A = this chain, B = another copy of it.
Amino acid sequence: MTGQVRTVDGRVAGRRGQATRQKLLECLSEMLSSSPYRDVKVIDVARMAGTSPATFYQYFPDVEGAVLELAEEMAKEGATLTDLVAGRTWTGKPAWAAAEDLVDGFLSFWRKNDAILRVVDLGAAEGDKRFYKIRMKILNAVTNSLTDSIKELQSKGRVDKTVSPAAIAGSLVAMLAAVAAHQKGFQSWGVKQAELKPNLALLVHLGVTGKKPTK
Contact = CB atoms under 8 A, between A and B. Distances in A.
Interface residues of A, number: 52
A178 B167 contact: no
Interface in A38-95: 38, 63-64
Contacts of A64: 38
A202 B163 CA distance: 8
A37 interface: yes
A174 B182 contact: yes
A70 to B, nearest CB: 15
A13 interface: no
Interface of A: 36-38, 63-64, 114, 118, 121-128, 132, 135-136, 160, 162-164, 166-168, 170-172, 174-175, 177-179, 181-182, 184-186, 189-191, 195-196, 198-200, 202-203, 206-207, 210, 212
Chain A to chain B: the 3 pairs with minimum beta-carbon distance, closest first: A175-B175, A178-B178, A167-B199
